[in-house]
Every structure is written in C-alpha cells, then in structure tokens.
Amino acid sequence: MSDIVYFDKYDAAGAYHWAECDRRYANWRRYNPAVDARYTLTIEAVRSLGRSGSLLDVGCGDGLLMARAAPLFDRVAGVDTDPRAITLAQEQLKSTLNCEARHVAGYDLPFGDHTFDTVTSADVIEHLTDPQRHLREIVRVLAPDGGLVLTTPQWKADGKWDERHEREYRAEELRALLEAHFTKVELRFFWPAAWSRVYATRIGWRLVKLLAIQVHNPFLRMSDRDAPAYGQLLAICRR
C-alpha cells in the first residue's frame, strides 16, 4: 500500500533487536541499553494490565517482544508489513510454540473482532502516515476490557531521532490521538535525556553499556511527569 512507509533496516542488519538486547558480557559491543530498556518497560506495562490469554504485537519486527511476552500468555501473535522481518521472527521463534508471526501488507489486521486481550505497538506509530487507521484496527481486535501498550520516541526540537520516522509526537499530541480511541490513557516517560547525552559520547558509549550489564540500566528510569527530561513515551491504554 502507498501509505505504508518502507523500513529497510532488517535487510541491512538482520535480527538486530535480539543482538542489541543480549546482555551477555561477550556481546557488550552490540548491546544497546536504550533498546533493551524499551522492551523491558513495555513488558512491565503489559504485566500491569493483568491479562494472560492472548497478545498481538503490531509491527513485531524480528519477534523479540513476542519472545519476551510468550511466558505471560497462552497465545502470542505478531504482524509486520516487512516480509524480511517476519522471516527473521519466524526463525528466532521456531522453538517458542505459542508464538506465530504473519506478514500483513497493509493496515488491516487479519483477525476477527475482539480477538486479543492485549495489544502492543512498540515504536511503530512514528513510521505511519495514517495512525488513526492503525489505532482503529487495534481497537477492533481488542477484547472489550482489553488494553494497549504503545511506545514511541518523543518529539525533540533539534531534529528527528531517525529520518525513517514519518512523525514524532509531543506528549500532548500522543495523548489526544489515543484518547480518541481509548477511555483511559496513562502516559509515562522514559530514556532520561541526560543519560542519552552521556551514551552519545565516545567514553560514555562504553561506560553506560558496562553499567547496564553489570549493575543497573539507567535507561529504565521512568516518570509520569517532567516530559522534556526524557526521550521516549509509553502509553498504557484501556478501552
């Protein structure tokens, strides 16, 4: 479809989320504490919804979030518009029997109404030209008492986090978008900007990785206020 923005990173880097979230010391050069924190906090938010039946990961990429959700649910499904990502996800998840990854060419999800207890959308909405359609489909497949956990980079004044992004959102913009579809929206902030600045330096790049592996990941810090001090948004939405 013309309104899907092509994402080419899996062609170039393979199943990079798995490598970037591998905390073993032997992998420290590829380990990315910021990405690892996003998946950890997303799963913590999923746990907070208290559901255990079925989860759908929209924009599942190489399947890492599905793997982390698999112990919590009877069924985990994932969809992505990138066929290369789905191939990678299927390879990585072949021994995780309650997971299924499917290629979807457009916004329309190949599932019936009210199929899933929980939906995740991790750093997907910033890539979309029609976020309303994305959210309408999520609401359609969610159970009446289901919930959505969504993450996205927060808008910053000095330019986009990634030129592949169609749009990056201010906190109030994301809240307004989500409240058009959900009755309750909790918005939180993570990725402390101060640590991002340290991580962007030559020495800090090494030190923050080792700190995250051996002691504590500073990118896990989260707040429900002081938005400019953080780089990412996390929304917990209930119907």
The whole-angstrom separation of Cα 97 and Cα 71 is: 11
Let me know if residue 130 belongs to a domain. Answer: yes
Taken in order 140, 61, 159, 172, the sign of the CA dihedral is: positive
Cβ–Cβ < 8 Å for 237, 178? yes
> Where are the strands (E) in the chain, listed by range?
54-58, 75-80, 99-103, 116-122, 142-153, 184-192, 222-223, 230-238
pLDDT per residue as tens digits for the range 168-222: 999 999 999 999 999 999 999 999 999 999 999 999 999 999 999 999 999 999 9
Let me know if residue 149 belongs to a domain. Answer: yes
Tabulate helix, strand, coil % of the chain (nearest 5): 40, 25, 35
The whole-angstrom separation of Cα 22 and Cα 24 is: 6
pLDDT at 165: 82
User: What average pLDDT does range 32-51 have in this prediction?
Assistant: 97
DSSP 189-230: EEEEHHHHHHHTSHHHHHHHHHHHHHT--GGG-EESS-GGGE
Let me know if residue 167 belongs to a domain. Answer: yes
Please check the confidence at residue 148 and state whether its pLDDT lies above 60: yes
pLDDT per residue as tens digits for the range 54-75: 999 999 999 999 999 999 999 9
- Centre a 10 Å sphere on the Cβ of residue 24 and count the other Cβ atoms it contains: 8
Let me know if residue 158 belongs to a domain. Answer: yes
pLDDT at 2: 39
Q: For residue 126, which amino acid is it?
A: E
The whole-angstrom separation of Cα 58 and Cα 127 is: 12
The dihedrals phi and psi of 142, each to the nearest 5 degrees, come to -80, 145
Let me know if residue 4 belongs to a domain. Answer: no
DSSP 71: G
Predicted TM-score (pTM) of this structure = 0.93
Q: Cα separations (Å) of 199 from 9, 90, 210? A: 22, 32, 11
Cβ–Cβ < 8 Å for 123, 97? no
Q: Identify the CATH number of the domain in which residue 231 sits.
A: 3.40.50.150
DSSP 155: P
Let me know if residue 3 belongs to a domain. Answer: no
Total domains in the chain come to 1
Task: Determine the structural domain holding residue 19 and report its residue range.
Answer: 9-238
